[in-house]
Amino acid sequence: MSHSNKDDNKLEVLPDEKHLLLDHDYDGIQELNHPLPNWWNVIFYISVFFGFGYFIYYQIMSGPTLRDEFKNDYAKVVAAQDEFKKLNSAFKEEKYLAVANDDGIKKGAEVFVNNCLPCHAEGGKGDIGPNLTDAHWLVAKGTPETIYNVVFNGSEANGMPPWNEVLSSEEIYHSVAYVMSLKNTNVKGGKEPQGEKVEN
């Protein structure tokens, strides 16, 4: 194709485009002016308007950064998890009653041997941890709920670890049933009583 012949490149204006033809002519090159459609203009101006607002809010005023938004969302997740944990950590009478029997106590004894023995010694007579066979209590009050709370949350400052992340919920209830079965058995050679005497 020859480019020397200008007429080859001449814009061919269709009859209904005549009104769009711009009246300039650069070395024979002419243009049609197709105006932008209104829907396009509307979106464009809305974007510009939004852009201004966005810039002012996020760059000049103290709009949250991505990091801030992440932190806020993350805090919500943590709060929801805490809430969930709290719900799950609460002592449930019916769950305890379901295992407060010979079978539950037997299972609790296994949990005890595997986890609690080093500190509470055989039969719960006490060593590093207090004697669990007397009527004296340091943190618990000799009831299933108070025992559950100590086992679940621990009493870390005094050396009793929390068990909620080590044992399953069932195992914790079983161990409570077992500890309840030790109460007032006053095993011989047990550690001296510690804490308050609780009659129950």
Residues that bind ligand HEC (CB under 6 A): 111-112, 115-116, 118-120, 128-130, 132, 137-140, 147, 150-151, 155, 158-161, 163, 175, 179, 195
Query: Can you say whether residue 90 is alpha, beta or left, with left for phi > 0 and alpha for psi between -120 and 50 degrees?
Result: beta
Q: Minimal distance in Å, beta carbon 56 to ligand HEC? A: 57
Taking the alpha carbons at both ends of the chain, their separation in whole angstroms is: 109
Closer CB to ligand HEC, residue 21 or residue 139? 139
Amino acid identity at 63: G
Closer CB to ligand HEC, residue 30 or residue 141? 141
Closer CB to ligand HEC, residue 105 or residue 179? 179
Q: Minimal distance in Å, beta carbon 188 to ligand HEC? A: 19
Q: Minimal distance in Å, beta carbon 86 to ligand HEC? A: 21
Q: Minimal distance in Å, beta carbon 157 to ligand HEC? A: 7
- Cβ pair 96, 153 in contact under 8 A: no
Structure tokens at 187: 């095993």
Give the CA count within 13 Å in the CB-facing half-sphere of 13: 15
Closer CB to ligand HEC, residue 161 or residue 185? 161
Structure tokens at 135: 């009527």
Q: Could you tell me which of 116, 115, 81, 97 has the C-alpha nearest to residue 173?
A: 97
Closer CB to ligand HEC, residue 64 or residue 159? 159
Q: Minimal distance in Å, beta carbon 102 to ligand HEC? A: 18
Closer CB to ligand HEC, residue 21 or residue 141? 141
Q: Minimal distance in Å, beta carbon 160 to ligand HEC? A: 3
Residue with tokens 């086992």: 151
58-to-43, 64, 72 alpha-carbon distances in Å: 22, 7, 16
Number of residues written out for the chain:
200
